[in-house]
Amino acid sequence: MSPERRRKAEELAARYPRRQSALIPFLQYCQEQDGFVTRQAIRDGAEMCGLTEAEVESIASFYTLLFRQSVGKHLIQVCRTLSCMLRGAGELQEHIRRRLGVRNGETTPDGLFTYEEVECLAACDRAPCLQHNLMFHYNVTPDEFDRLLETWRASRPAVSLPAE
Ligand code: FES
């Protein structure tokens, strides 16, 4: 682990009664530094918490806001759970895949857009919903998506997760 990362690991671990509780904030920090949770971040997380790499890997791969590979400047996550599916998420997903020319989990060749279908985003009362770089959009129709896409193409925000 690099000295800088070790300093951050100790700072985060000091905030919790158990070191393992600091693992997710630590992985978020690593992601902010590297763009995604790298192999090295998994090793560092294991060292920090006294866990195996497999245990850290299982945690990193469980959360949709931790990325195991680099993502585009625009991360689009569409809910695929029941309420959204009943309210047109399937049609929306198909539309987005066609518009971007990608499948679930892929990034456009220009590196701008990553598309993911994720579990419930906890906005079921305003289904179908999606998140763009962690910002919610509700009751999204294919037409509304096209409007949003134009806005996003005009800007180039980076995905950034707050590290504790
Ligand atoms: S089912 Fe889509 S937000 Fe809950």
pLDDT tens digits for 95-130?
999 999 999 999 999 999 999 999 999 999 999 999
Is 162 a residue whose pLDDT tops 90?
A: no
Which ligand 1 atom is the nearest neighbour of the CA of 89?
A: 2
Which residues contact ligand 1 via a Cβ below 6 A?
Answer: 79, 81-84, 120-124, 127, 129
Q: Contact, 164 vs 25, CB < 8 A?
A: yes
Q: Given this model, what pLDDT does residue 42 score?
A: 97
**Distance from CA of residue 20 to its chain's centroid?**
21
Domains of the chain, start order: 3-62 (1.10.10), 74-155 (3.40.30.10)
- pTM greater than the 0.85 cutoff: no
Q: In what order do the strands lie in the sheet with 135-137?
A: 113-118, 74-79, 130-132, 135-137
